[in-house]
Amino acid sequence: MKAVTLAAAVLALGIAVFALIRTFDVEPDYTEAQRGDAKAAVCAAFETVRTGVATNTNVTPPGGSGDITGALAVAANARVALFDGGQYLLAKLDPATPTDLAAEVRRFANQLMDIGAAATAGVPNTDEVQAGRLQDAEAVSSAISERCA
């Protein structure tokens, strides 16, 4: 009786270990149509964010350099475009997005948020670390543009 109980316990343990390993090893199976739709959606979101960031980070404050209110409004819009753009991209990532594209989009989104957070803290674009973030974001943006073409 003990031998049967022990055999059943060992068999149950083996099945449990197999099931556990299998859950970590199996990647969801998406159709080409699902992958294509996910890619199209995230590429459209990327284009929207890229346009918004480019538009709002290159605005000249109205009224010249003496208009502090205009300068603050322009800076605030740039920061919103960066941080919210990153959040928007992360929200638009679908599990069916091709893995390499999803990784680049996540990287770009996080870089945008890092740039925006640093800018909100008063870090200028001329700061060495901030300048590096900007260069990295531009490189990843180009890579995503190529993948989305």
Taking 60 as the threshold, does the pLDDT of residue 2 lie above it?
yes
Q: Distance between CA 129 and CA 92 in Å, rounded?
A: 28
User: Is 125 domain-assigned?
Assistant: yes
- Decide if 25 is inside a domain: no
Q: Which domain holds residue 113?
A: 31-148
Residue 141 has pLDDT above 60, yes or no: yes
Q: How far apart are CA 74 and CA 68, in angstroms?
A: 10
Domain assignment present for residue 55? The answer is yes
The average confidence (pLDDT) of the chain is 88
Token representation of residue 57: 């980070």
Query: How many domains is the chain partitioned into structurally?
Result: 1
pTM (predicted TM-score): 0.78
Question: 19 in a domain, yes or no?
Answer: no
Determine the pLDDT at residue 64: 65
């991209």: which residue's tokens? 89
Answer whether residue 10 is part of any domain: no
> Is residue 16 situated within a structural domain?
no
> Which residues are CB-neighbours of 131 under 8 A, at least 6 positions away?
125
Instruction: Answer yes or no: is 9 within a domain.
Output: no
| 97 inside domain | yes
